[in-house]
Amino acid sequence: MDLVKETMRALAFLSRLPVSTRWFDGHDGTLSENVRAFPLAGMIIALPASLALLVAAALHLPDIITAILVVITTIVTTGALHEDGLADVADGFYGGSSKERRLEIMKDSSIGSYGTLALIISVLLRTTLLATMLDAVSPMQAVLVVIATEAASRAALARFWQSLPSARAGGVSDKAGIPDEDGSNFALVLGAILLAIGYGLAGGLWAIVLAAGLTAFAHYAFVALCRDKIGGQTGDTLGAMQQIATISLLLGLVIAL
């Protein structure tokens, strides 16, 4: 029952899906305690996109159109939460010359050239990779891939969150607290299991190995970049990590296919 509560709380933070306030009774608002349920929340977030995929497949729409619909549905489901983080990170990391200036830019709600380009690149890559995947697997295999990707990318988010201290006092991630190692490990194992099922059925062992390997590399590279640029993590970097993980996971699968 605790895991169900944690999943609902994580879902309220990670998406725009309606979540009853009863799941927050007696809760102090510390999100970091719920990170072990992030992959399960990712599975639920994937359901509207999975439905869109199946409808598009039933209508025999072109793969590229189906992929666009899947990406749009995911963005709507999350309220572009992770995309917003990616754009802010791109603007801050490459538009500021000091830690303080980078954090200031990231806090600004306006979007600059770096953020715009990052969003365009992210959407193009995810759409193209999904379309390529759809051409090689059945609709049901594609649904399992979408679910596994949303789950595993949020497991990577949980691990990333636990890997770095907060870079901004009073920020979203700082107020939410740093996840403990046990919760992060639980999310990682759960995400890996779901990845193995979805990607294994679609592309076999090689797909699992490539996807996991590329994502691990992307994770450690982004951790190093965040440490160098701002000395830690913020809510924006959490969103950026999810986007980076999604792309690296799908890239590994497509290479294997």
pLDDT in tens, 117-169: 999 999 999 999 999 999 999 999 999 999 999 999 999 999 999 888 888 76
Task: Answer positive or negative: Cα dihedral of 162, 229, 110, 215.
Answer: negative
pLDDT tens column, 3-51: 788 888 888 888 888 888 776 666 665 666 688 899 999 999 999 999 9
Q: Whole-prediction pTM value?
A: 0.92
Task: Give the pLDDT score at 183.
Answer: 82
Q: Is the pLDDT of residue 1 over 70?
A: no
Average pLDDT (203-208) is 95
pLDDT tens column, 207-238: 999 999 999 999 999 999 999 999 998 989 99
Residues with Cβ < 8 Å from 196, sequence gap 6 or more? 208
Task: Give the pLDDT score at 171.
Answer: 64
pLDDT tens column, 51-95: 999 999 999 999 999 999 999 999 999 999 999 999 999 999 998
The angle subtended at Cα 189 by Cα 188 and Cα 193, nearest 5°, is 115
Task: Give the pLDDT score at 83.
Answer: 95
Beta-carbon count within 10 A of 185 CB:
15
Q: Is the pLDDT of residue 175 over 80?
A: no
Q: What percent of the chain has pLDDT over 90?
A: 68
Task: Answer positive or negative: Cα dihedral of 123, 80, 237, 118.
Answer: positive
Q: Is the pLDDT of residue 173 over 80?
A: no
Q: What is the distance between the alpha carbons of residues 256 and 194, in angstroms, rounded to a whole number?
A: 18
User: Angle, nearest 10°, between helix axes 235-256 and 81-95?
Assistant: 100
Per-domain residue ranges for the chain? 2-7+36-256
